[in-house]
Structures are given as C-alpha cells and as structure tokens.
Amino acid sequence: MKAYLIKRFFAMFPVAIGVVTLVFFIIHLTPGDPVEIMLGEQASIADKESLRKELGLDKPLLVQYVSFLGGLATGDLGKSLYTKKGVTESIMERYGATVELALCSMVIAIFIAIPLGVIAAAYRDTSVDRVAMGFSLLGVSMPSFWIGPLLILVFSVELGWFPVSGRSGFDSLILPSITLGTAMAAILSRLTRSSVIEALGEEYINTAKAKGGGELLILFKHALFNALLPVVTVAGLQFGALLAGAIITETIFAWPGIGRLTIQALNARDYSLAQGCVLAISLSYVFVNMLVDVIYAVVDPRIRYK
C-alpha cells in the first residue's frame, strides 16, 4: 500500500508541471494586450509601460515563465493589481470557504444518493424504483441558477429561516450546500443504482445468499462495496468541480469562495489574480484525481498491485 501511495504521489508532479505550464501559456498567449485591457485605451503610453514593467510583461516570454515557476516554488504568485495584496494570500483567504461548501455539498449528496440508489436497485422496476429515479431526473433537470433563487425566496425571504447570502455561520451554509448537493445526488444515485444492479447479478451474490446472508448485508456489504469504483470516480470528478468553484452558486449566495473571486478578478481585469485563481482551480483537479486513486486502493485492494 505504501509503495502504491508513493508511486501515485510522484506521478502527480509531471501532471502538475504540465498544468502549470498550460495555464501560463494560455493566459499569456491569449490575443489582446492585458495591460490595455486593464487600463483602457485612453491610458497614456507611460502608464502602460509602467504597468507592463510592474507585471514583468516587458521581458521575453521564456524569462517570464522561469520567473513564474520560481515564484510558484516559493508560493509567490505576485500581487493583485487593485487590492495590492498578494495573490496567494487572496486565494487562501477564499479557498477555505470553497472547501467548506464543497465538503458539505458532497456529504449531502452522498447521504441522499447512496441509500436512494441502493433502494432503487433492490426494488428494480417497481414503483419504489420509479419514484427514486423520478427524484433523480428532477434533480438533474433543475439548474443551480433556478433552484438557488427558489430556495432563497422560500426559506430566506418568506420563512426567514436562513440568511439570504454571505458566510455568517453554519445556517448560511445550508442553502448553497443543498443547491449543489441536490444536483450531485441526482447523478450519483443513478450511477449507484446501475452499478448495484450489475453487482447483484454476479455469482458471489448467489454465494452470499446461499450462506444465509441477510438482505441488507448482501446489499450494502457485498453488492454496494463491489459497485463503488464507478461511484467513487464520478464523485471525485464532481468534488473536483466543486473545489474549482461553483461559480454560479457562489455568485447567487454571495459566497466568498474561489469561484466568485475568479469572476471578480475577471470583471476587474486583475491579470495576476485571475491567473492565480485559474492555477489554483487546475491544481485542485490534479490533487483530487490523486486522492481518488488512493481511495481506489482502499475500496479495491487489487488495484494497489497494478
């Protein structure tokens, strides 16, 4: 197990370097002068040259890339053009809120999806199955930009149970988590159902039944446990998307996460901060993919030997 974890950990570095390189060159090779976008066409040539020198854009691209890697190695991604704060500091201030929202949304999704998917598989092609999958279809069909304002109108404006927006405490976390968790639960429940149905047709299930195993034991220990790999894969990708910043949901609820910070940086044409946000989002996917590989080895011990 230890050898598998070390191998996966070191395999992450080439991917991370590739992501860093891709983010840098995409940002810098995008058509248009970022300095002119920031200052506007009416800015003087002196102001443009001053900003270009401040951002290091007057140097050759290769020199900028080496300088960028050096700064990244020390955690220095430059300073925000408007707030004058360090980009790394600004991202870390917001990243915790995004992780908090992502974890809470994932917990809600799993607690809804796993039991719902298993029950639907156990009562396949019955009214229970149809109701469960109907809920799943409903969850997929409701976009976050619709269900978010609906929850605000009902539970914040009409009933006054939760804050409308912001991050003021646990109660302010509930509505955005439900908004994200509902859609994720819909996807995971359908995948859980199909995976468990496939597992229930295997020979080891008949063996477990022949040994007198109870229905719940067979469903949750034998069938579900052996059907978890595709569920873990999709859940990991969904969690990576949440860590990337649920931009729409964070904007609707004014949640101070990295997704909203990215939008604010783009709207303000804050070149350095936008680059740092995109980099943080990309590296989040790399880290989550490595974490999914580790969970694979826990769920299926055979994987660690490959």
**What would the mean pLDDT of 32-56 be, rounded to a whole number?**
72
pLDDT, tens digit, 9 for 90 and up, residues 120-130: 887 887 888 78
Task: Residue 179: name the closest of 105, 286, 239, 73 by CA.
Answer: 105
State how far the Cα of 128 lies from the Cα of 116, in Å rounded to an integer: 10
The pLDDT score that the predictor gives to residue 31 is 67
Lowest mean pLDDT among 5-14, 88-97, 248-257: 5-14
pLDDT tens by residue, 215-263:
666 776 667 777 777 777 788 777 777 776 577 788 888 888 888 888 8
* pTM to 2 decimal places: 0.76
pLDDT of residue 212: 66
pLDDT at 179 over 80: yes
Half-sphere exposure of 75 (CA within 13 A, CB side): 5
Residues of the chain with CATH 1.10.3720.10: 95-267
Angle of the 127-141 helix axis to the 87-122 helix axis, nearest 10: 160
Q: Domain 95-267 - what CATH class? A: mainly alpha
Residue 37: the pLDDT is: 66
Amino acid (1-letter code) at residue 304:
R
| Calpha distance 9→22 (Å, rounded) | 21
If you write DSSP's letter for every residue of the chain in order, what string do you get? -HHHHHHHHHHHHHHHHHHHHHHHHHHHHSSS-HHHHHH-TTS-HHHHHHHHHHHTTTS-HHHHHHHHHHHHHTT---B-TTT-SBHHHHHHHHHHHHHHHHHHHHHHHHHHHHHHHHHHHHTTTSHHHHHHHHHHHHHHHS-HHHHHHHHIIIIIIIS--S-SSS-SSTHHHHHHHHHHHHHHHHHHHHHHHHHHHHHHTSHHHHHHHHTT--HHHIIIIIIHHHTHHHHHHHHHHHHHHHHTT-HHHHHHTT--SHHHHHHHHHHTT-HHHHHHHHHHHHHHHHHHHHHHHHHHHHH-GGGGG-
Q: Nearest CA to 243 among 260, 259, 264?
A: 259
pLDDT tens-digit readout, 65-79: 888 788 777 877 777
